[in-house]
Each structure stands twice: as C-alpha cells, then as structure tokens.
Chain A
Amino acid sequence: MLRYFLKRLLSLALSLIVASWVIFLALEVVPGDPAAYMLGINAQEDTLAALRDQLGLNGSVVERYFAWAGGMLHGDFGISYTYRTPVAEMIGERLWISLPLALYALVLSTLIAFPAGIWAASKRGSAADLTVMGVTQLGVAIPNFWFAMLMVLVFAINLRWFSAGGFVGWDAGVPAALKSLTLPAVALALPQASILARVMRSSLLDTLSEDYIRTARAKGLSRGQALWRHALRNALIPVLTIIGLQFSFLLAGAIIIENVFFLPGLGRLVFQSISARDLIVVESVVMLLVFAVIVVNFAVDMAYAVVDPRLRRRR
C-alpha cells in the first residue's frame, strides 16, 4: 500500500513538473517578448524595459522558469500587470467561488447518478430503466450553459425563487452563499450526472454478468443481495475513473457557467485577463486548474486502492 502510494505520489510530482513546463513554454516562450505582447505595439521603450524588469524577463529562459516555479512553491504567483496587485491574492478570493461550485456540482452529480444508475441496472429493461436511459440521453446532450440560461429564465425571472446571478459572499452565511451557488451547480451537475448514471448502469450490468455473481447466487443470495454485496464495489472501479475525469470537466464547466450567473470566480478573472493581455494572471490560473485536476486524479488512484485489494497487495 505504501509503495503504491509513493509510486502515485512520484507520478503526481512528475506530472506537475511537466505540466508547468508546458504552461511556461506556451505563455512565456511562445509569445516571444511577453512584455511587448502585453503592452501592445505602441509601447514606449522605457515602459517596456520597466515591465521586463518587473516581470523578471531579463534572465535566460531556464532562470525565468525556476524563478516562476520557485515563486509558486511558496505561494508567490507574481504581480498582475493590469491590476497591480499580487496574483495570489486575486486568485485566492476567486478560488473560493469556483472551487466550492465545482465540488458542489460533483456532490450533486454523484448523489443523483448513483441511485439512478443502480436503480436502472437492477430493473434492467423495465419502464424505470427506460425512463432513466431516456432522461440521461437528453441530459448528456444538453449544453450546460444553455441549461443554465433556461433555469435563470424559469427559476429566477419567472418564479423568482433564486436571484438571476451574482454571489452574496461567504460573509452572508453558508446557507445564503450555497443558495446563490445552487442554480449554477445544478446546471453543471445534471449533464455530468447523466453521464455518470449511464456509466454506473452499464458498469453494474457488466459486473452482474460476471461468474462470481452466479457463484453468489448459488450460495443463496437473492438478486438484490448479490448486487449490493458483490457487484457494486466491483462496478465502482470504472465509475471512479469517470468521476476523476468529470472533475476536470466540472472545473472547466464552472468557468463557463460563471459567465451565465455573473459570478466573480476564476472564469471571469481569466477572461478579463485575456482581453487585458495579462499573461501572468492567465498563466497562474491555468497552472492552478491543472494542479487541481492532477491532484484529483491522484485522489482517484488512492480510491482505487481502497476498492481493489489487488492494488494494495501487489508490488
């Protein structure tokens, strides 16, 4: 188990390092002179020089990479060119909207998908199964931001149950804050829940046709007992993979959905920074999101080991 953990940890560190190379190359080396890029063609030579100095662009590429990566390691993401404030602070504030939103959606999606998938699989071919399959077929096809707009139209504009957008802030209390994240989270969660429910169903159906389910039935377990005691945990292995992948879709989705609800999260920040050509902020946000995806995949690997003894014992 410890060996497996250390091996995954090593692979996590390697992925982070290579990912940081990619991001650094794409945003600091490919544009040529980032300072000239950020200031545009009419920049004065002395302002350019000042910016280069401020951004630490005077060293070699390797020096600059280590300065950037080393800074990040102790929480220094640099200074935003447009806002003139430390990037870490700006990201910190906004992260408290985007991350809870993605997690809220992940929880919702799992809470909806598991029962739906299990229910459909246990009643294969029944009206219940057909309903779940039909609804999820639609759910998979709905663009989440359009679904969000429709929900705004119905629940905010017509029914006035929720506000059409904006975030009250965590200072207003957790329930109020969660309420203002509810419509966006539902919009994010439903399409993902549809995918997850379908994966859950087909994975369960696969395991239900395994030989060991027949063995369990021959011991005297009923259909339901065999499903809960033997099929479910085995079926979780592919489902975990999908949950891991979904987190990255949810983070990306959160960035898009923030636009619909005017939430001041990472999404708004990154789009404003793109139009302001503030590469430092873009670079930091992308690195942070990639970091989140890689860490979640690490967590999924750990979850595999909990489910599957073969990973715990071997090696």
Chain B
Amino acid sequence: MSIGCRELVVAAGGRVLVAVPALDVAAGETLAVLGSNGAGKSTLLRALAHLGSAAQSGTVVLDGHAATTAELRRAVAAVLQRPVLQRTSVIDNAAAGLRLRGVRRREARRRAEPWLDALGIAHLATRHARTLSGGEAQRVALARALAVRPRVLLLDEPFTGLDATTRADLLADLRAAVDRQQPAVLLVTHDRQEARSLAQRTALLVDGEVRQIGRTADVLDAPADLECAALLGFTTQLPPALTGRETTLVARPEHCSPLVGSAPPPPGSVVVDGVLRRLVPLGGAIRLDVDTATGPATAVTTTDITATPGTTIQLAIPREHLRECAPPPP
C-alpha cells in the first residue's frame, strides 16, 4: 500500500508548520525525510497518520484515494522518537498493537513473538518493560509496530539516543524486518547515515517545505540550495565574491585541506585565503576554523599543522568535491 499527501498544510497559532503540495511513498519503498530540529519532520509524520494536534488541511492518500482516519488507523503503525511502553511485560508490550486492534491476548502474543526474535529481544520476553535499557525499549517499540504487519510504517527518529553499535545493529534488524513485510516506510530523521542505510529515496525538509527529493545517493551528494547544503554537511560555503565563480560553491569540511609549506594545490582545485581562528583536535584529525573575507569556513585534516591562530592560511578544495549551489528560495 502506498501513502502520500496532497496540499497538506499544518498550522498552529497562525504559523504554517508544514506545507507539502505532494509527497508519495510507494509500497515496499522507504522514504527518508531529512531535516534539522524544528524543520517540521515530526509534524509531517503525525499529520500523515492523522495524529497531530495542530489544525491540518489537505488530504492524506492511501493507494491513490483520500484516506479517512479510520482507514489510516488500520493501515498505519507509527513509532515515536521516545519508546512509550506500557507498564507490563515485554511480550505484552510487543502484543499491544494487536491487542489495540481487537486481537485476543493469546493470539496477539503468538503473533508478536516472532518479532521479538527478529529484533533480537526474545530473551527479554518476560521482563518488565520498565527494566529495559533505551535500546531494548526501542526494539520493543519497533517489534510492537511490526507485529501488526502495518501496510504503512511511520518512524519518527527511532534511533535517537542509542549508542553507535546498538544503532547499527538495530538499523540492520529493522532493514531485514521491513524487507520481509514490504510496507511503505516513512523515516523521519536528522541523520544522513540512517537515510543512507534504510531509504531508497530521501526528501529534505527545510522550514516545513520539501526542498529536494530524489534517490538517496543523489540527494545526499547534490544539495539543491545552500540550506539543503548545510543540512547535508556541506558546511563550508564559498560565495562568488571569494572564488570569482558565478555561484556559491559548497564542500564538506573533510574535503577542505590546508596548503602546507610551498606545496602546490592539487590541479583544478579552488584555493581560498583566510585567517586561522582556532584549531580543534578531534582525535586523529584536526578541525580548522578559518575566517575568510566573506565569512567562516571549516576544514578537517589529518596532516600536521604548524600554523597558529591569527596567521593567514590557504585552504584547497579539489574540484570533484565542490558543488555549485543556488541560494535558498525567498
């Protein structure tokens, strides 16, 4: 089953929080909605499930037709950022989604059990939910949503606050589980890695609007405008005044390197002058904050730096790592 929206507008207190003319997630597809804090990601997700408290207009479509709230309840399972579990055992929590849909206790437990297994928490089945760690609780929340075999799965930053290993494991387990069920998945996140590992397509949400949408690999590598660039980690932004080019060039700090000694810059690279403001050791790499004529720029390098703050420095960025970027729409 596919889910999407048409002319969706969510507003609260006279302020438009989300305005999305059209968005579609096909059955079996995972769409990541990438945005910074406050961009309206959770609001969009809740609006798609008719779960929001703010006023919304427009339609949510399921398989191409306008969906009622009752239809959305049947089709959708949502996992919120914080795992909200019930005061009961892990297995009964995992079965809760089915119970809420009218399945009898014994049957609900039977159907939930395989999902505890799939998410690696079968050994916790009889434990009380309140004794779980954050990662375990999030696994229970995911098992609970998957157990209802939703045709649409909405995930609201379900990996936030988990340690790197737990997160990587959980991403893999979720990927496998989703592949089994083939629901339409909408993943809301601020993390590019999560989008990369789960989503075929990615949409960038800025100020409640979808600025860019496309194949995940394409979107992550080619920001449409400067705000998208910042969201995607292209935080070193070089305006025309600095480079003499027609448009602003952007790059990731790890692709900007200082020129040391009299070594020539790599052929075809763009070189900018600036004053070194500070050096931040990052354990192996060093982050350089440089003030250029038009504003700050950041480089991350592993080479030894002899320059001290206050001295002039040159940063070189190879052409293949530079992206041309338009200013954001007014």
Tell whether A pairs with B. no
Interface residues of B (CB under 8 A from A): none
Chain A residues within 8 Å of B, Cβ to Cβ: none
